[in-house]
Each structure stands twice: as C-alpha cells, then as structure tokens.
Structure 1
Amino acid sequence: MLADEFGREITGVRVSLTDRCNFDCVYCHNEGLGDTRGPMEPQAAEMNTDEVVRFLDVAAEYGVTAVKFTGGEPMLRDDLETIIRRTPDSMSASLTTNGTFLPGRATALYEAGLERVNVSQDALDPAAFREVTQTGAYDAVIEGVLAAVDAGLTPVKLNMVVFEATAGYVPEMVEHVAENDGLQLQLIEYMPEIAGHPEWAIEIERVHDWLTEQADEIVTREMHDRRRYWIDGGLVEVVDPVGNETFCANCHRVRVTHDGQLKGCLNRHDNCKSMGEMSKSEIRAAFEATVAERVPYYGEYMVERDGEWVVNEEYIES
C-alpha cells in the first residue's frame, strides 16, 4: 500500500467516468475542475472501458480496496455495468449519481457488483429542487432512489450540498431519512474555493449545533474525522472539509479525471499527472508520483495565519 510523506495510506480512489451531465447544478465544481456541463454526446477524451479497468487493476496492486465512480453523471456511460463487472474483486464499488437513470438500471448495476449509491438530492420540494439543479427531473430522482433501495443498493446516501439556498431544507431531509428505511443523509459543506460564489456559504457549525440538539447519538468516524448523528432512527453524516485541517489529514483517496489524469487533492488542479497512453507501466509511474507528492490542502498547501487560511508561499516556492 502506498503512503504519502504525511503517512496517509491510499485506500480508495474516485474515478470520474465523464464530465458530461444532464443536470446543471448551481454549485457544481466537477470534481474540482470547474463546471463543464455538456455536450451530452460521448467525448473522445473520456477514458474507455479498458483504460478504466486497467487503472483499477493497477490500483488493486497497491492495496486500494474501494472505488467510487463519479462524473459528471457517470450513468451517461453505457458501459458502466461492464466497468463495474470488471472491477477487481478485492475492491468495493460505489457510485455517485443524480439518480435519473437508476430506474431500469439499478438491478443490473447491483448484479454487476455495485454495492451502494449516493444520490444527489438537495430538497424535497420540486420547485426548490429545480432552482438548485436547473432541471425538472425531481420525480425521476425520487423514482431512482426507490429503484436503488428495491435493488439492494443500500444504504442509499442522499447527498445534500448545504449552502444559502438549501440550508432551510435540512430539517425536512433529516425527517425524510428517519421515516424511510434504506436511506441515509450526507450533508456536504459548500466549497466556495472551487465552486465560486463565497456569498452562498453558510457557517457549517450552525448545522452541527442543530443536529447535536436533535441527536439521540453522535459518533465520530475515523475517516476525515466526520461526525455522524442518529436522529429518530435516521443517520445523518456531515462532510465539512472547508478550512478543516483534520479532514485533510485523514484523506486517503486519489482522484482520477475523466480524461485519465491523477489528482492528489480535490481542491487542486495545478498538479494533475497524466497517465499517458494508459499502459500499466505508465499508470504505475503516475500513481506512485501522485501519492509521493500529495500534500494536505489545509495545513500544508494552505496555512492559517491571523485566523485566515492563506496560500503557503514557502510550499509553493519549494
């Protein structure tokens, strides 16, 4: 297993299969690369089936035990089931999706070896959902969540980005997962440093404080030091990386862009490494170099001075 100089072993990878998406969410940052929605037709720049599988085979050689397929919208790939079926047996496979294509495909994905899904759902009100996603696909998403539960892709985590436009819907989303078996809620802190619009950000501790008041039990996960809240039988987890040095110190993932580049950190795109023609030797070399050069975004790349996070010029110069 590979580890960076900060002792962070790489146990998981996030693989973007496309930067295409049928949504146009206002907070999209496309795995830190910027919102590049559309066109919807397949693009030549995307890794093909064999290239994705070849990367996963190499990652497995280094002891990586989990892969999450992302996008864009990864279900725009017709070969998704094939990729999952060919994922090394030593790896657990999960998927982040907007859910609109799950009806009709959820069972096939489960049978191919997919273990669970995260579905983006920022509100229970169709009008509010349309405002955030710029689509009228609310009913399709709800149908997709139900299809995933029925197929056995549980727990289905509902991803809700918490910012100015959605914060008021947190209580009803918490109630929703408590009332529906097979669902969990993942509240994701809005990241203005890569999504823009800093005026949309809210103080995430306000959310933590409210959850604490409601919770029957609170547990902190080792991964990223995440807090989990059990409320009326429902599970709510908060992902709060902004300005969080502890979060970055516990990051054990490497990311892969849709066009075959490795990223050691979500927040950065200035150190992407190409895997070239995607031969196993090229993949190994790029993977080892990426891990060796990984630096925690908060705490090293960004440092706190006088109560503010600023770029660490000493690191940049070195």
Structure 2
Amino acid sequence: MLEDEFGREVTGVRISLTDRCNFDCVYCHNEGLGDTRGPMDPRDNEMSTDDVVRFLEVCEEFGVRKAKFTGGEPMLRDDLEEIIRRTPDSIETSLTTNGTFLPGRAEALVDAGLERVNVSQDALDPEAFREVTKSGAYDDVIEGVLAAVDAGLDPVKLNMVVFEATAGYVPEMVEHVAENDGLQLQLIEYMPELAGRPEWAVDIERVHGWLSDQADRIENREMHHRTRYWVDGGMVEIVDPVENPEFCANCHRVRVTHEGYLKGCLNRNDDLKPMGEMTRPEIREAFRETVADRVPYYGEYMVKNDDGEWVVNEEYLSTPAPAGD
C-alpha cells in the first residue's frame, strides 16, 4: 500500500467515467475540473472499458480496497456493468449517481458486483428540485432510489449539497431518512473554491449544531474525520472539507479524471498526471508520483493571506515537510 509524505495510506480511488450529465446542477464543479460537460454522446477522450479495468488491476497491486465510480453521470456509460464486473474482487465498488437510470439497471449493477450507491437528491419538492438541478426528473430519481433499495443496495445514501438554496430543506430530509428504512443522508458542504458564488455558502457549523441538538447518538469517523448523527433512527453524516485541516489530514484517496489523469486532491488541478497509453507500467509510475506529490489542502499547502483569501503557501512549497508530519 502506498503512503504519502504525511503518513496517509491510499486505500481508495474515485474514478470519473465521464463528464457528460443529463442534469445541470447549479453547484456542479465536475470533480473539481469546472463545468466542462459537453455533448451527451460518448466521446473518444473517455477512458475505455479496458483502460478503467487495467487501472483497477494496478490499484489492487497497491493495496487499494475501495473504488467509487462518478461522473458527470456515470450511468451514461453503457459499459458500467462490465467495468464493475471486471473490477478485482478485493476492491469494493460503489457509485455516485443522480439516480435517473437506476430503475432499469439497479438489479444488473448488483448482479455485476456493485455494493453501495449514493444518489444526489437536494430536495423533496419537485419544483425546488428543478431549481437546483435544472431537471424535471424528480419522479425518476425517487423511483431510482426505491429501485436501488429493492435491488439490495441499502442503505442508499442520499447526497444533499447544503448551500443557500437548499439549507432550509435539511430538517425535512433528515425526517425523510428517519421515516424510510434503507436510506441515509449525507450533507455535503458547498465548496465555493470550486463552484464559485461564495455568497451561496452557509455556515456548516450551524448545521452541526442543529443536528447535535436533535441527535440521539453522535459518532466521529476516521475517514475524513466526518461526524455522523442518529436522529429518530435515521443516520445523517456531514462532509465538511472547507477550511477543515482535519478533513484533509484524514483523506486516503486519489482521483482519476474521465480522460485518464490522476490527481491527488479534489481541490487541485495543478498536479494532474497523465497515464499515457494506460499501460500497466505507465499507470504504476503515474500512481506512485501522484501519491508522492499529495499535499494537505488546508492548513499547510493552502493558507489564508492578510485579506482572508486562501492562497498557495510558497514557504511550504520551497521547504517540503518531512515524512510523517
């Protein structure tokens, strides 16, 4: 298993299979790359089935235990089931999707070996949903969540980005997962560094405080130092990376773009490493280099200047930290 200079073992990979999407969510940052979505038809710059599988086989060599498939909308890939089926058995597979294609494919994905699914759902009202996603597919998403539960992918984790337009819906979403077996809720802090519009950001600590007051039980997870709240039997987890050094200090994954570039951090695009023709030697070399170049985003690599803006820490770059710090 590979370990970076800060003692973080890389145990997971997050693989974008496409930047195509049938939604146009207002907060989308396309895995940190910006809004680069293009036509809906398959494109030549997407990694092939064999490319993705070869990459996963190298990941297995390095002891990676988890792979999450993302996009864009990864279910626009007709070969998704084949990719999951050919993923090495030692690697747990999961999927982040908007859910619209799950009704017709959830069972096939489970048969292929998919173990978990996250479905983006930012509101329970169709009109509010439309405002955020620019899509009228609310009923399809609801049907997709039910299909995933029925196919055995429970608990299905609902992803809700918390920002100005959605913060008021948090209580009803918490109630929704408490009342429906097989569902959990993941509240994701809005990231203006990637999505822009800083005026949309809300104080995530207020959400933590509200949940603390409601919760029957609270748990802190090692992964990303996340906090889980149990409210009336429903589980709610907060993903709060913004200005959070502990979150970054507990990050154990690297990312892969749909074009086959490795990146060590969601917030960085200055470290993209190509994997060439995706041969095993090229993949191994790029993977090692990506892990070796990983840096903490908040607190060391990125610091606040006198104006309160996040900037690259030039002193850090010129004086690399010793291993284990």
Which bracket does the TM-score occupy, shorter chain normalised? Answer: over 0.9
Aligned-partner Cα distance in 2 for 1:199–1:233:
34
Amino acid at match of 1:25: C
Corresponding residue of 1:8? 8
Whether 1:195 and 2:182 are equivalent positions in the alignment is no
Corresponding residue of 1:183? 183
Aligned-partner Cα distance in 2 for 1:270–1:160:
28
Whether the 8 Å contact between 1:29 and 1:194 is mirrored in structure 2 is yes
Aligned-partner Cα distance in 2 for 1:131–1:297:
31
Shift of 1:316: 4.4
SS at match of 2:212: helix
Question: Is there any run of 5+ residues in structure 1 with no aligned partner, and where?
Answer: none
Amino acid at match of 1:100: T
The alignment of Structure 1 onto Structure 2 pairs a total of residues equal to 318
Q: Which aligned pairs between 1:99-138 and structure 2 lie closer than 5 A? A: 99-138=99-138
User: After superposition, what is the alpha-carbon deviation per residue over 1:29-59, rounded to whole angstroms, capped at 9, x for unaligned?
Assistant: 0000001223100010000000000000000
Question: Is there any run of 5+ residues in structure 2 with no aligned partner, and where?
Answer: 320-325
**RMSD of the alignment, in Å?**
1.1
User: After superposition, what is the alpha-carbon deviation per residue over 1:124-164, rounded to whole angstroms, capped at 9, x for unaligned?
Assistant: 00000000000100000000000000000111000000000
User: After superposition, what is the alpha-carbon deviation per residue over 1:186-232, rounded to whole angstroms, capped at 9, x for unaligned?
Assistant: 00000000110000000000100000010000000011110000000
Corresponding residue of 2:254? 254
Task: Give every structure 1 segment of 4 or more consecutive aligned residues whose post-TM-superposition deviation is greater than 4 Å.
Answer: 304-307
Aligned-partner Cα distance in 2 for 1:313–1:102:
46
Corresponding residue of 1:314? 315
Q: Which aligned pairs between 1:295-310 and structure 2 lie closer than 5 A? A: 295-304=295-304, 308=308, 309-310=310-311
Shift of 1:110: 0.3
Shift of 1:313: 1.9
SS at match of 2:236: strand
Corresponding residue of 2:88? 88
Amino acid at match of 1:182: G
Shift of 1:18: 0.2
User: After superposition, what is the alpha-carbon deviation per residue over 1:72-120, rounded to whole angstroms, capped at 9, x for unaligned?
Assistant: 0000000000000000000000000000000010000001000010000
- Percent identical residues: 79
Q: Which aligned pairs between 1:171-250 and structure 2 lie closer than 5 A? A: 171-250=171-250
Aligned-partner Cα distance in 2 for 1:307–1:295:
23
SS at match of 1:69: strand
Corresponding residue of 2:323? none
Q: Between 292-301 and 270-279, report the one with greater CA deviation.
A: 292-301
Aligned-partner Cα distance in 1 for 2:315–2:55:
34
Amino acid at match of 2:53: V
Aligned-partner Cα distance in 1 for 2:130–2:318:
45
Whether the 8 Å contact between 1:22 and 1:38 is mirrored in structure 2 is no
Aligned-partner Cα distance in 2 for 1:125–1:38:
28
Corresponding residue of 2:70? 70
Corresponding residue of 1:145? 145
Aligned-partner Cα distance in 2 for 1:177–1:86:
33
Aligned-partner Cα distance in 1 for 2:116–2:290:
28
Change (3 A) 1:307 1:178: farther
Corresponding residue of 2:274? 274
Amino acid at match of 2:314: E
Aligned-partner Cα distance in 1 for 2:41–2:162:
31
Aligned-partner Cα distance in 2 for 1:36–1:179:
38
TM-score by length of 1: 0.98
SS at match of 1:254: strand
Whether 1:37 and 2:37 are equivalent positions in the alignment is yes
Aligned-partner Cα distance in 1 for 2:182–2:227:
20
Whether the 8 Å contact between 1:15 and 1:67 is mirrored in structure 2 is yes
Aligned-partner Cα distance in 2 for 1:245–1:214:
26
Amino acid at match of 2:6: F
Shift of 1:305: 5.5
Aligned-partner Cα distance in 2 for 1:305–1:140:
46
Shift of 1:286: 0.2
Amino acid at match of 1:71: G
Corresponding residue of 2:18? 18
Whether the 8 Å contact between 1:160 and 1:187 is mirrored in structure 2 is yes
Shift of 1:307: 9.3
Shift of 1:311: 2.4
Aligned-partner Cα distance in 2 for 1:52–1:300:
33
